[in-house]
Amino acid sequence: MLTFFYALTDGKIKVHYTDGTSVDFELKAGEYGYSGPEKLHQTENTGSNTLKFLLIELKEHPFK
């Protein structure tokens, strides 16, 4: 599944990948990105405020 995200609020997150690695991010409202199916993950809010995202998940990859 391909997921696009758009940060609605500022915040800090830690992304935990299934291979055991993790990466910290500090996001600002208005930043965006994507995650492909090859990098399955869970996201943890590590900041002190509520972090809000707009997520768009595509069930099939559009660029096969």
Both structure tokens of 32: 């965006």
Please report whether residue 44 resides in a domain. Answer: yes
Please report whether residue 27 resides in a domain. Answer: yes
Please report whether residue 63 resides in a domain. Answer: no
Task: Determine the structural domain holding residue 44 and report its residue range.
Answer: 2-58
pLDDT digits (tens, 9 = 90+) for 27-49: 999 999 998 877 788 999 999 99
Q: What are phi and psi of 36, to 5 degrees?
A: -90, 170
Q: Do residues 63 and 11 make contact, with C-beta atoms less than 8 angstroms apart?
A: no
Give the count of beta carbons closer than 10 Å to the beta carbon of residue 61. Answer: 10
Please report whether residue 29 resides in a domain. Answer: yes
pLDDT digits (tens, 9 = 90+) for 7-26: 999 999 999 999 999 999 99
Instruction: Say yes or no to pLDDT of 63 above 90.
Output: no
Please report whether residue 28 resides in a domain. Answer: yes
pLDDT number for residue 56: 94
Tell me whether residue 11 is exposed, middle or buried, using C-beta atoms within 10 angstroms of its C-beta: 0 to 12, 13 to 18, 19 or more: buried
pLDDT number for residue 59: 81
Domain count, the chain: 1
- Name residue 8's amino acid: L
Q: Output the pTM of the full model.
A: 0.79
Please report whether residue 15 resides in a domain. Answer: yes
Please report whether residue 64 resides in a domain. Answer: no
Please report whether residue 45 resides in a domain. Answer: yes
